[in-house]
Amino acid sequence: ATPVSILAGTGRAAELGVLFRKGDALQNLSRVDLVAFDKTGTLTEGRPSVTAILPTRDCDADTLLTLAAGAETASEHPLARAILAEAKARGLTPAPVDRFEAVTGGGVTATLEGETLRVGSRAFLQQTGVAVPPTDPTPVTEVHVARGALYLGHLALSDAVKPDAARAIAALTARGTRVALLSGDAEGPVNALARDLAIPEAHARLSPADKRAQVAAWRAAGHRVAFVGDGLNDAAVLAEADVGIALGTGTDVAIEAGDVVLVSGAPTGVLTAIEVSRRTLRNIA
């Protein structure tokens, strides 16, 4: 590729809201045969809301929400913001906690009256020895709450799918690109989204390191992989991919790690980026 044709290609892409941040991204993208998407904030809006509050017999709905909101006060995670918004809407004051700690891809802990509050995924609570009773398979995200060793119940949250997500997946599939979903969320919501969007391959409950390892495995098997993500915890996998595609609506950390940035955050920007790259490389082939 000549410098002039690359410049013309990246210029055209920029007009369409696709920023190529690294010089070789245009060429690498033209050869991609597998596109893996993050779920939350990438294919979904990333603005979940609480749809149900399900305390055990040891708790009640207002207490459960008050405790969860207290533990989440200092978190910037979209699930935390949704929980705080719900507490506010119900006129509840978050429990006054201290010693807040966030565990990436798991949840948060905080201390209340000498006891540890744990708020997060089933796996996150189970790892610390809390017995989390089974729930029916569900397409919503569950946030579980424990105070000390006592399990208190869970909140259900759902997040709308972006309007152009299905179109982006269908178009990639139609052009012969393999599509996959990599998420830190549980099987229920991950498999439900994959089914809704006709994504043939989905991996749930992945830590940031697991996401990176999956992309490394695809690359070792000979695939050229693009990963599309928005989150703080997507930086490693964005860097691992042949082409990291970050959403302009995402975190600064993700944008810094991306080779390509989709300004509007719309998943169909991936198609625009691939089309520009292929057209540019074809013109000069």
**If phi over 0 gives left and psi between -120 and 50 gives alpha, with beta otherwise, what is residue 107?**
left
* Residue (of 103, 98, 95) closest to 120 by Cα position: 103
From the list 121, 158, 251, 277, which residue makes contact with ligand ADP (rule: CB under 6 A)?
121
CB of 238 to ligand ADP, least distance (A): 13
Q: List the beta strands (DSSP E) in the chain.
A: 18-20, 34-38, 49-55, 98-103, 107-112, 115-120, 141-147, 150-158, 178-182, 201-203, 225-229, 243-247, 260-262
CB of 88 to ligand ADP, least distance (A): 17
Quick check: 154 and 143 in contact, CB under 8 A?
yes
Q: Which stretch binds ligand ADP (CB under 6 A): 104-112, 168-176, 244-252, 266-274?
A: 104-112
* Residue (of 153, 50, 120, 121) closest to 92 by Cα position: 50
Interaction of residue 153 with ligand ADP, rule CB under 6 A: no
Q: Which stretch binds ligand ADP (CB under 6 A): 5-13, 27-35, 161-169, 178-186?
A: 178-186
Residues 184-243 binding ligand ADP (CB under 6 A) are: 184-185, 231, 233
CB of 42 to Mg ion, least distance (A): 5
What character string, x for contact with ligand ADP (CB under 6 A) and - otherwise, covers 239-258? --------------------
User: CA geometry: angle at 14 spanning 12 and 18, to 5°?
Assistant: 115
Contacts to ligand ADP by CB under 6 A: 38-40, 72, 75, 77, 79-80, 105-108, 119-121, 141, 143, 183-185, 231, 233
